[in-house]
Amino acid sequence: MSMIEEIEEAVRRLSSKELDVFRACFAQLDAAAWDCQIEDDVTMGCLDGLADEALNDLREGRCTDR
């Protein structure tokens, strides 16, 4: 049995209350991983093109407050 299968089985055995705690914990871990990925993408310049496009749209008046 793979580790993933073991985790899936363990999650299936959780009570409702334990599952709620697990969900909250996993959501925090997932959010932290997402934050790290975004920081890495910014550092590596992966989002520069999107930022330039947004700034150009702002300069050209193609943005609204809505």
- Domain residue extents for the chain: 3-59
> What per-residue confidence (pLDDT) applies to 64?
82
- What is the pTM (predicted TM-score) of this model? 0.66
What stretches in the chain show pLDDT beneath 70?
A: none
- Phi (first) and psi of residue 30, to 5 degrees: -65, -40
What is the pLDDT at residue 62?
93
pLDDT score of 58: 93
Residues 6+ apart with CB under 8 A from 47: 41
Q: What is the pLDDT of residue 24?
A: 98
Predicted pLDDT at 21: 98
Between CA 52 and CA 55 the distance in angstroms is 5
Cβ(63)–Cβ(57) below 8 Å: yes
Residues 6+ apart with CB under 8 A from 9: 1
